[in-house]
Amino acid sequence: MTAHPLDPLTADEFRAAAAVLRRDRGVDERWRFASIELREPAKDLVRTFAPGDPVRREARVTCWSRDEGTTYKALVSLTDDAVLAWDAVPGEQANMTLDEWHEAHEALIAHPDVIAALAKRGITELDLVLIDTWAYGHSLIPAEFQDRRVGWTDVWRRSTPMGNPYANPVDGLHFVVDMNTLELLRIEDDAPPVGGSPMGEYRPDLVPGLVQRSDVKALEILQPEGPSFALDGNELRWQNWSMRLGFNYREGLVIHRVGYRDGDATRPIAHRLSFAEMVVPYRDPSPDHHRRTAFDIGEWGLGFMTTSLELGCDCLGDIAYVDAVLHDSRGEPYTIGNAICLHEEDDGVLWKHVDERAGAEVRRSRRMVVSFHATVANYEYLIYWRFYQDGTIECEVRATGIMVTSSFDGEAPPTGTVVDDQTYAPFHQHFIVARMDMEIDGPENTVVVSESEAVPVSDANPYGLALVQRSRPLLTESDGKQDYDWAGQRGWKVVNRARLNRLGTPTGYKLVASASFPALVDRNSPIMARAGVIDHTLWVTPYKEEERWPAGEFCNQSRGSAGLPQWTTADRSIADTDIVLWHVFGIHHIPRPEDWPVMPVDTVSFSLKPWGFFDRNPALDVPPNPGRCH
């Protein structure tokens, strides 16, 4: 039984979606399912849904035949057991699948030419070799392979069976592989540098001479009365907050229907929050790195990359976990246990004042954390959505894991940081695109850009102290392409101009950006053609159901221009309408020596802060810390 129309697909529903296409469209064992996901119902149906209402379920499916090669998109009615749409998408490659990644390794490691190339470098223990397939962009694919589904591989070598493969790059050796036939198309075998002897291990038993510090005492989080949140199906409620949790192959965690109870009513803030793309161009033109322009979401999928969490390690406290169900490339469901972590955290002081007569009033801040972790080959992304008692929503990303490295002889290349003996980590960038389908007090919202301006000295401003805010609404999509500007402290508010607060101003939420950086990419580069989204801090579009992927639906081998750059050429109105906010943020990663051999988390974030959404501080009613303060 489906409890709510936004609940993710169940294992049975994945099976049913695949079965309908096998029965009605001849999808046989030679096909792969790239993705199966819920087609979310229309927003007005969701808004008016009441428990017990009938629910119609539909699945979107992308699949292709390994023999014929054409990608197909299907819409399947699970309720009616029927195919509603079946469209060929010639010239596009579906996202990569984990099955292909594993199968490419198996096929290549058994190939005599691969074995010979490894032997030439003195590598004969094949069990220690990892062949790691990357997707790569269309214009970089050799002309004769352009019509194929291709992968480009790195080769890594473990020093010991449990050693870190990314500790030892097999420099200059790459395979171009047909992902459908698993045929080895080409070997790129450049003479490797002599290199040095880097130490790239991080497991304590493998780090020579490592003595773990002995002065770390136990730290336990106790919640004797249990947590303050409640999970009912996929609906999470905590203090005044409510939201629904979703999950799919591509975005991983999706948070729907975010609302805040204010008096008797729950006021909507966002219809849907997720990460819609992550683009990671490596900024090193050397043959070992020039094809590295990963679309971690569009090519690989944050959901597919999600890993299980472990109590006491990943999350601390009174935890509730939510499992996620996804599917393999045969359409068979599988479960990622403990995929989403729900817990509360103490967050220091929320507000405080000491009065000489009345003494101190101090409240501790607590936050509700909804998180998940994805491992994308060498890298980890830890994603935290945090909801605070003062109405703030904060989204934090922590990047950790192992950096890609190469060996060098002589001078280090200027496009990386030396992190070990004759070993460098190339500069690269992680552009994350948060998709925020906002709904401040209702669907019709407007974005206002505000900047601070110093007023010149004049009779009215004799001391030059006056500072004013200049604000204007963004009316069309071309207006909505916004860049961060530190000098003016530029910021953006999503407001509902039809809903005024006690002070007579529109209710709103402000996007507080703190991790924006310029793309610093040549306009004529292939990556800019494929990922034009990285060119702005903010994009605003009117909501359209099919506009979900900011760098295009099919990023794998994409040629370019799909997604936000294309949609926004229509220059549609974005005033007083159902808008989607796309925020580009991330890490301009100039590696540090300390990022090696495993990176301490590099943390970036942004916030959505109430700005006139409430009439005053909404956290006046937070009581002193139970049992501690008075």
Which residues form the interface with Cu ion (CB under 5 A)?
589
Residues 573 and 544: their CA atoms lie apart, in Å, by: 13
The SS3 of residue 180 is coil
Report yes or no: 512 and 608 within 8 Å, Cβ to Cβ: yes
Question: Which C-beta is closer to Cu ion: that of 57 or that of 430?
Answer: 430
CB atoms within 10 A of CB 298: 29
Residue 431 makes CB contacts below 8 A (sequence gap 6+) with 277, 278, 279, 280, 281, 519, 531, 533, 534, 584, 585, 586
Question: Which C-beta is closer to Cu ion: that of 364 or that of 589?
Answer: 589
**Residue whose CB is nearest to Cu ion in the complex, by number:** 589
Question: Which C-beta is closer to Cu ion: that of 340 or that of 376?
Answer: 376
The DSSP secondary-structure symbol of 563 reads: S
Cis peptide before 597 (omega within 30 of 0): yes
**Closest-CA residue to 303 (of 393, 366, 230, 383):** 383
**Cα radius of gyration (the chain):** 26
Residues 111 and 285: their CA atoms lie apart, in Å, by: 29
For the chain, what's the residue count? 630
The DSSP secondary-structure symbol of 14 reads: H
Is 296 among the catalytic positions?
yes
Residues 625 and 139: their CA atoms lie apart, in Å, by: 59
**CA-CA-CA-CA torsion for 525, 531, 537, 542, nearest 10 degrees?**
140
Residues 118, 120, 123, 125, CA torsion sign: positive
**Closest-CA residue to 257 (of 246, 241, 272, 240):** 272
**Closest-CA residue to 615 (of 495, 508, 496):** 508
Question: Which C-beta is closer to Cu ion: that of 452 or that of 514?
Answer: 514
Question: Which C-beta is closer to Cu ion: that of 435 or that of 589?
Answer: 589
The SS3 of residue 108 is helix
Residues 166 and 428: their CA atoms lie apart, in Å, by: 17
Give the shortest CB-428-to-Cu ion separation in angstroms: 5
Give the shortest CB-420-to-Cu ion separation in angstroms: 16
Give the shortest CB-596-to-Cu ion separation in angstroms: 12
Amino acid at 480: G
Question: Which C-beta is closer to Cu ion: that of 327 or that of 589?
Answer: 589
The two structure tokens encoding residue 257: 């229907």
Residues 498 and 505: their CA atoms lie apart, in Å, by: 10
Strand order in the sheet with 416-420: 406-407, 423-426, 416-420
**Closest-CA residue to 606 (of 463, 378, 436):** 436
Is 260 among the catalytic positions?
no
The neighbouring-strand residues paired with 345 are: 367
Question: Which C-beta is closer to Cu ion: that of 10 or that of 375?
Answer: 375
H or E, element range at 528? helix 526-530
Report yes or no: 408 and 193 within 8 Å, Cβ to Cβ: yes
Question: Which C-beta is closer to Cu ion: that of 89 or that of 598?
Answer: 598
Angle at 564 between CA 6 and CA 383, to 5 degrees: 50
Give the shortest CB-589-to-Cu ion separation in angstroms: 3
Q: Active site residue: 132, 171, 284, 296, which one?
A: 296
Question: Which C-beta is closer to Cu ion: that of 16 or that of 599?
Answer: 599
Q: Active site residue: 166, 249, 260, 379, which one?
A: 379
The two structure tokens encoding residue 383: 């994603």
The neighbouring-strand residues paired with 87 are: 73
Angle at 483 between CA 530 and CA 252, to 5 degrees: 55
Question: Which C-beta is closer to Cu ion: that of 4 or that of 428?
Answer: 428
Question: Which C-beta is closer to Cu ion: that of 9 or that of 374?
Answer: 374
Amino acid at 498: A
Give the shortest CB-529-to-Cu ion separation in angstroms: 23
Angle at 456 between CA 454 and CA 457, to 5 degrees: 125
Give the shortest CB-401-to-Cu ion separation in angstroms: 9
Angle at 397 between CA 394 and CA 400, to 5 degrees: 155
Residues 319 and 321: their CA atoms lie apart, in Å, by: 6
Report yes or no: 468 and 453 within 8 Å, Cβ to Cβ: yes
Give the shortest CB-595-to-Cu ion separation in angstroms: 8
Give the shortest CB-183-to-Cu ion separation in angstroms: 32
Question: Which C-beta is closer to Cu ion: that of 426 or that of 542?
Answer: 426
Give the shortest CB-575-to-Cu ion separation in angstroms: 38
Catalytic residues: 296, 379
